[in-house]
Amino acid sequence: MKSKKIQLFVFSFILIISPLLGGLNNVYAKDIPPVYVHLSWQNDTLTTMTISWKTSEETSSIVQYGIQDVLENEVTGEDALWHAVELTNLQSNTIYKYRVGDGETWCRELTFKTGNSESAHFIAWGDSRTFRDERVKIVEAVSKINYDFSVFDGDMVEAGRETVQWYRWLSDFGPAIQKNPFMPVLGNHEKNHSNYYKVFALPGREEFYSFNYGPVHFVALHTCVEDYGGSLDEQAEWLRNDLEAHSEYPWKIVVQHRPPYSSSVRYYRNETEDLLTTLVPIYEEYGVDMVIAGHDHWYERLEKNNVSYVVAGASGAPLYSLIPAYSINESIIAESVYHAIYIETYDNQLAFHAFRGDYTTIDKFYINKVVKPDLRVESLPLNYYFNKSETKDITITIANVGEVDITEETSARIETFNNTHWDITVPALDVGEAFNYTFEWTAPDYGTYACSVILDTENQIDEVVELNNNQTFFFYAIEEIDESSFLFDGMMGLLGVFSILLVLTLVNKRWEKKRT
């Protein structure tokens, strides 16, 4: 009798732990490959790419990469826990496949695209600390946009010394930083901690730096140095020299955490006085076009002495209330909302589009360096996802964003795969006027499809920018989720619950038997 009870107990115990063992195996399996893979630049954006990642133990640092096949090239770095390997001598404006690992275990195959010299399409955002649900929503929105790279104005995490917060942040931001380089600056919450420098591989001394992409010279500053007994004087001297050395660039954009101008109580308390007296005069003297900052958890755009100041401080941090009494004269628009910004730059034009997580527009404006008309697709360059044979309506907005009215009709075309296309007649458009066109598209099969919108196909007008006459959207036809995997997981879960109930029943019966 006793042996039967033992056998029954062992059988029940196996039933309980068998589903758990499968889960434990999955967790262990996920820990083997490299994790938190992300991209940045340390040098030339045209011909280099730096790939960083983390492993649970110190391992070899190997990157395999190629244009046609990931096995075409291999570069080995130093053994490490936090890995960073720079690829050099790459072809510009080219998509590469890559994977990282130790020679035996690899991450999944990913892609990146090298820079180009004609334009820059980038995301600006900041202040993602604290609320993971909100930052994941913004990351999901950003990851569906076709862009080259992003700049981030600081306060990625709540406490820079807490390594686990960096793990969570890297996990949440994965979709946006695995295929698009990410160029951050330090905020006050990073505390200038060594974790920041372990995670990111950046140009120069990394605390502050500059880089070039297309027609833009970017400067990244650390404006929280006074929190640690430092001063902005060193960066001010470096900034003068840096801007002077890159004066030939059509656009100069500074990214920093603390904003010089903002409709905030901090401004009224003179907490930005160091920025106003040390940095702002340099911006004005050397022709900086835009300063992107965060720190105040809302969106705001301000103008002062031909410099645009943008507060992009809400991609996950707790929103602050805008108080009308604190609104300053320089403010043009402000809204307390989670957001990101998409910016396009060409030699003669900067196009700016601030949007909410659902892609609705907060703010939009253009800076044109020449007085001409300009047709462009104003719709965000989104990726669209379909099930096989699913049909969706796609609406595009075509606008005249130049400085001169367009007084005649122009021709445009939408092209998709297999030479399918729609010819469009775009009406005459005054400055700021837009025209919407909607078409249906059906996913013919699983796969990726490009859809190009080409404006002014007959070259009827002389525009501010000719390069922005072609915008490409990508349609992804994906398989529906396989419910069988959920069914299996559900059966295993039910088996575990049943096993626990069985053991509890046996224990209860034995207890009742002892009592009697």
What is the rounded distance in angstroms from the CA atom of residue 200 to the CA atom of residue 218? Answer: 17
pLDDT, position 441: 86
With beta carbons less than 8 A apart as the criterion, state whether 416 and 386 touch: no
SS (H, E, C) 171-239: HHHHHHHCCCCEEECCCCCCCCCHHHHHHCCCCCCCCCEEEEECCEEEEECCCCHHHHCCCCHHHHHHH
3-state secondary structure at position 113: strand
Domain spans of the chain, in order of start: 1-31+481-516, 36-112, 118-368, 375-478
Torsion of Cα atoms, 302 then 305 then 306 then 312, to 10°: -30
pLDDT at 399: 97
CB contact at 8 A, 141 and 359: yes
Q: Measured between alpha carbons, how far is 291 from 301 in angstroms, rounded to an integer?
A: 10
Residue type (1 letter), 90: L
pLDDT means per 10 residues in the chain (516 residues)? 50 46 42 88 98 96 98 97 98 98 95 98 98 97 97 97 98 97 98 97 97 98 88 96 98 98 96 97 98 98 98 98 97 98 98 98 98 96 88 94 98 87 95 95 87 95 94 85 37 44 49 50
Fold of the domain spanning 118-368: Purple Acid Phosphatase; chain A, domain 2 (3.60.21)
> Superfamily assignment of 36-112 in CATH?
Immunoglobulins (2.60.40.10)
Report residue 491: phi and psi, to 5°.
Answer: -65, -40
Q: Is 173 exposed, middle or buried (0-12, 13-18, 19+ CB in 10 A)?
A: buried
Cα separations (Å) of 318 from 155, 258, 261, 375? 12, 16, 20, 38
User: Which CATH number is 375-478's, of 2.60.40.10, 3.30.230.70, 2.60.60.20, 1.10.10.10?
Assistant: 2.60.40.10
- Torsion angle defined by CA atoms of residues 38, 42, 47 and 50, in that order, rounded to the nearest 10 degrees: -30
For the whole model, what pTM was predicted?
0.87
The 3-state DSSP class for residue 393 equals strand
Shared fold status for 118-368 and 375-478:
no
pLDDT of res. 480: 58
Distance CA 59, CA 466 (A): 49
The C-alpha atoms of residue 170 and residue 263 are separated, in whole angstroms, by 31
